[in-house]
Structure 1
Amino acid sequence: MKYLVIHCTATPEGREVSSAEIRRWHTSPPPAGRGWKQVGYTDLFHLDGRVERLVKNNEDAQVDPWEMTNGASGYNSVSRHIVYVGGCDRQMKPKDTRTAAQREALKRYVQDFHGRFPQIRIVGHHDLNPGKACPSFDVAAWLREIGIRQ
């Protein structure tokens, strides 16, 4: 694994998203979904800070075929993808909408992940796919705020 990639659901501020919704978005055939075999993220950070596992993994530094998610084309075989609910304002423009509970849960998750795998680069989706706003905040600046130097 080379990357931990942070995403947002690109949904309006304050609107909860279920794992079932994300699965539909990703795995339903077009035009209702993307037609992927697997959901795009390993873990989902709900508005209340709960972290829900969407794809099982063995918590090692390898991305086994059964663990691979579809978060960023060209990077999926070497990345773990995580997502927080939100990322847009009410007009669907990019905005950092992380709640205090999401910020805390994401901080704990990322610090733990970095402690276990310090060699893995932590990035936002936009860092791998320029032109995208996702995850609607500056991941590098946030990492410095929480004490992670890469």
Structure 2
Amino acid sequence: MRRIDFIVIHCTATPQDTRPAAIQQYWQQQLKWKSPGYHYLIDKFGASIQLATEDRICNGVAGHNAHSIHVSYIGGVDAANRPLDNRTDAQRKTMRELVSRLKRQYPEARVQGHRDFPFVKKACPSFDARKEFEDL
């Protein structure tokens, strides 16, 4: 089992009704990634979709993927593509449950947003993940 130092929270920076298959297709065809960007993706209805097993390395944060688990919600931007925490109540609930489980499984891991890593110039996940999950 690989060492997990971070549980990284992301947004897709897409409309909330973006299909998971379209996100995966973008990674494969446009970015030419062999691995997905996240381990878990949460749709607007709160369904958690596992895109990769936790033993696999995903492409969530350059330079930090070997020791990270990546969780994302579909959304995170407004109609003008500006950062916005537009998680639905169902997404918030599922994310909380999933991060709680991951934190129990990897108690030493720090929960933080993509934006909280050095040299990252993104607003992702469009909210303060450290603060939101500081009680875990």
Q: TM-score, normalised by structure 2?
A: 0.91
2:94 to 98, 105, 117: 105
Q: Could you give the per-residue CA deviations for residues 36-84 of structure 1, whole angstroms, max 9, x where no partner exists?
A: 1111111110100000111123xxxxxx4xx111011101111111110
Distance 1:122 1:38 in 2: 22
Aligned amino acid, residue 70 of structure 1: N
Distance 2:39 2:18 in 1: 15
Which residue pairs with 1:130 in the alignment? 120
Unaligned runs of 5+ in 1: 58-63
Deviation >6 Å, runs of 4+: none
Which residue pairs with 2:76 in the alignment? 87
Given the alignment of the two structures, is residue 55 of structure 1 paired with residue 55 of structure 2, yes or no? no
Distance 2:19 2:67 in 1: 26
Aligned amino acid, residue 35 of structure 1: K
Distance 1:120 1:141 in 2: 15
- 1:3/1:121 contact within 8 Å kept: yes
Which residue pairs with 2:13 in the alignment? 10
- 1:87/1:97 contact within 8 Å kept: yes
Aligned amino acid, residue 139 of structure 1: A
| DSSP 3-state at the match of 2:131 | helix
1:96 to 85, 92, 95: 85
- 1:8/1:84 contact within 8 Å kept: yes
Structure having the higher Rg: 1
- 1:22/1:39 contact within 8 Å kept: no
| DSSP 3-state at the match of 2:133 | helix
**In angstroms, what is the RMSD of aligned CA positions?**
1.2
Q: TM-score, normalised by structure 1?
A: 0.83
* Count of aligned pairs: 132
**Percent identical residues:** 36
- 1:42/1:69 contact within 8 Å kept: yes
Which residue pairs with 2:38 in the alignment? 41
Distance 1:4 1:124 in 2: 8
Unaligned runs of 5+ in 2: none
